[in-house]
Amino acid sequence: MEFCDKYHCADCCLEPKVPLLNEDIDRIIMHGFYDAYFVDEDQGIKTVRQRDDGTCVFYNKLSGLCEVYPSRPERCKLNPYTICKDNLEPEVDRACKHCNQCNKDPVSEKRMSEYLVTLEKEIEWRRRTGHF
């Protein structure tokens, strides 16, 4: 999220829907958090837990910073890239208030595509095996 760092913006941490890859979970556990603290799961889709007010469980409301920043989920690192709901292609998130300063980035697009493939494979495997 170097882009977000640059603008000192954490808006996407206030009400995030952040899917977790297995490697994200392993990395955050190594960072010092139990998975029972931060992982929510619904029908094979694992996401970062949100507090009752919608904020990410890792968002520090006092500092405005992410408590697992070096180990944050890949999805957070990919901001402000998202997936277009119409054609399911990677694109800059137009809801990002700084996206007008973000050029199209083929490297981020490729990373987002690879991320999606991995995520879909993991979700499919969990649903098929019932192994959550």
Provide, rounded to whole angstroms, the least separation between the CB of residue 112 and ligand SF4: 13
Nearer to ligand SF4, 34 or 129 (CB): 34
Nearer to ligand SF4, 107 or 129 (CB): 107
Provide, rounded to whole angstroms, the least separation between the CB of residue 59 and ligand SF4: 4
Provide, rounded to whole angstroms, the least separation between the CB of residue 49 and ligand SF4: 9
- Closest by CA to 6, choosing from 91, 102, 82, 95, is 102
Cβ neighbors of 26 (< 8 A, separation 6 or more) are none
Beta bridge partners of 75: none
Q: Residues in the site for ligand SF4, rule: CB under 6 A?
A: 1, 3-4, 7, 9-13, 16, 18, 48, 56, 58-59, 66, 68, 72-73, 76, 79-80, 96-98
Tell me if the bond preceding 80 is cis, omega within 30° of 0. yes
